[in-house]
């Protein structure tokens, strides 16, 4: 049986993952400061993106996501393994994205997992390391290339 602390930790971690999606889809880069640790390493390279610290990642996201008219990150249930003040989390993610192609909206789909390492801080749980693991791309536009990291 889960203890009250572990139930609380799991809910806080799940909320943090959802807030990340809201921040990205809403292009609220400042909100990432309350999701990641200041020394976090974020790795989007498997999907063609950048790897770097939080400051570099926020600048990269602002540039890389600018061409998209819309995106909607949807999470599956995370697998959460907590050990003291650290946690490892793997979360299925489905992300439809809209980009203009030939003057019309083109929707494509990205399926991936977020592989995260979190740490409990005085402000609550924060992501210390995030790595995307790609499962698939579907309906990519012709000649699509991610923004150079």
DSSP string, 73-130: -EE---EEEEETTEEEEEEEEEEEEEEEETTEEEEEEEEEEEEEEEEEETTEEEEEEE
- Rounded to whole angstroms, the Cα distance separating 67 from 100 reads 8
pLDDT digits (tens, 9 = 90+) for 6-38: 999 999 999 999 999 999 999 999 999 999 999
Q: pTM for the complete prediction?
A: 0.95
In CATH, the number for domain 4-138 is 3.10.450.50
Please compute the mean of the pLDDT values over residues 63-67 and round it to a whole number. Answer: 96
Domain residue limits, the chain: 4-138
**DSSP calls for 12-43:** HHHHHHHHHHHHHHTT-GGGGGGTEEEEEEEE
pLDDT of residue 40: 98
Residue 14: alpha-carbon gap to chain centroid: 12
pLDDT of residue 147: 79
């Amino acid at each position: 049986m889960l203890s009250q602390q572990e139930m609380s930790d799991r809910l806080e971690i799940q909320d943090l993952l959802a807030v990340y999606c809201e921040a990205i889809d809403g292009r609220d880069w400042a909100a990432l400061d309350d999701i990641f640790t200041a020394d976090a390493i974020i790795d989007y390279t498997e999907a063609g993106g950048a790897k770097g610290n939080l400051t570099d990642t926020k600048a990269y996201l602002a540039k890389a996501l600018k061409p998209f008219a819309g995106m909607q990150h949807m999470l599956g249930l995370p697998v959460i393994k907590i050990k003291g003040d650290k946690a490892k989390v793997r979360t299925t993610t489905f992300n439809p994205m809209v980009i203009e192609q030939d003057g019309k909206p083109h929707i494509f789909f990205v399926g991936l997992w977020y592989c995260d390492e979190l740490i409990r801080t005085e402000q609550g749980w924060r992501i210390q390391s995030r790595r995307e693991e790609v499962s698939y791309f579907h309906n990519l536009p012709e000649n699509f290339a991610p923004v150079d990291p």
